[in-house]
Amino acid sequence: MTVAMRLGLFRRPTDIPLDRDPAARTLPWIIAVMAFLATIALAGALLLNNVIVRWSNSLSGTLTIQVPAASGAEETEARIKRVVSLLREDKSVLRVRVLSAAESSALVEPWLGRGAAAIGLPLPRLIDVGLAEDARVDLAELRRKVDAAAPGASVEEHQKWLDEMIGVIRWGWRLALVVVVLIFFAAAMTIVFAMRTSLRIHRAVTDVLHLIGARDQYIAEQFQRHAFRLGLLGGAIGTGFAALVLIGLERILAKVETLQAMHLELPVWSWAVLALVPPAAAALAAVAARYTVLRGLARMM
């Protein structure tokens, strides 16, 4: 007795004893493996998409100005004030925020440990600058002014770095989607071969059905319903297991502080997308079965 039968998915009797096929026993598990891989790959694609969106929103339209520590704390503060005042004169600048020494220290904490400032390391001070939407900033001119106000200060433009990073992540996202498509293709091929075998096994019954006046669609619908149930069952098993793995992985990643800034987390709505994998697997199985069986029957008398 197959898992599907145990779960009562074959209560409606069919003319063709499809639940006794070897395929009925193995196909749900093959589909489960495919659904597991597809869910993981899809989750990867959704995660990377989330990273792209979060990074784009958080870093685009911003500049960071790094003011090196001067010979004294007062001189450093004076330089920062000069830079801030020249920034506030610029109409394309919406927001200027000077990070405190403690905040700057916290940023390097994962690499230098706690209290890097306390032991006298000359940490640079950072100024976070928000630009107006569609602002056109002459960076060369800004760099020249900032350098005049605070010698050695640098202007970091995130957009170029961001574009490159997003470009790389976007490739990863595309690759994940290609993997999902390939998995579904492989699943469809598996179902096609299973249904061909099944059609051969039940040739005697399909012949009788034909001879008493059954249309190809009547016979194909039985294979289609059968494949749909196996697909739904396999999809639910595979996706369920993948969901457990993803939840576990998310918890592990949440504990790694250095990765927190990367926003490696699945948005809530993406779980709804992942939940579509079992019905998609079932629909794919049903369509592949119907197509295969109709083609096979068309070759019969």
| Residue ranges binding other proteins (CB under 8 A) | 13, 15, 17, 20, 204-205, 207-215, 218, 298, 301
Count CA atoms within 13 Å of residue 163 on its CB side. 4
Minimum CB–partner distance for residue 28 and other proteins (Å): 20
Closest Cα partner for 39 from 266, 278, 285, 269? Answer: 278
Comparison of 20 and 196: residue with beta carbon closer to other proteins: 20
Nearest distance from C-beta of residue 9 to other proteins, angstroms: 16
Whole-number minimum distance, CB 3 to other proteins, in Å? 19
Integer Cα distance of 202 and 30 in angstroms = 22
If the CB atoms of residues 193 and 218 are measured against other proteins, the closer one turns out to be 218
Q: How far is the CB of 2 from other proteins (least distance, A)?
A: 14
At closest approach, how far in Å is the CB of 172 from other proteins?
49
Beta bridge partners of 156: 64
Tokens of 85: 């005042």
Give, in order, the Cα–Cα distances in Å from 285 to each of 94, 280, 288.
55, 8, 5
Q: Is 258 helix (H, G, I), strand (E, B) or coil?
A: helix
CB neighbours of residue 42 within 10 Å: 23
Instruction: Name which of 185 and 218 has its Cβ closer to other proteins.
Output: 218
Q: Which is closer to other proteins, CB of 16 or CB of 131?
A: 16
* DSSP per position, 1-33: --HHHHTTTT-S--SS-GGGSHHHHHHHHHHHH
- Quick one: 81 or 215, whose CB is closer to other proteins? 215
Q: Which is nearer to other proteins, 140 or 301 (CB)?
A: 301
Nearest to 193 by CA among 10, 27, 66: 27
Q: How far is the CB of 205 from other proteins (least distance, A)?
A: 6
Q: Which two tokens stand for residue 197?
A: 């075998």
- Looking at the chain, how many residues does it have? 301
The residue assigned the tokens 């170029």 is: 160
Nearer to other proteins, 177 or 201 (CB): 201
Bridge partners of 126, per DSSP, are 66
SS3 state at 301: coil
What is the closest distance, in whole angstroms, from the C-beta atom of residue 229 to other proteins in the complex?
Answer: 17
Residue 99 gets which letter from DSSP?
P
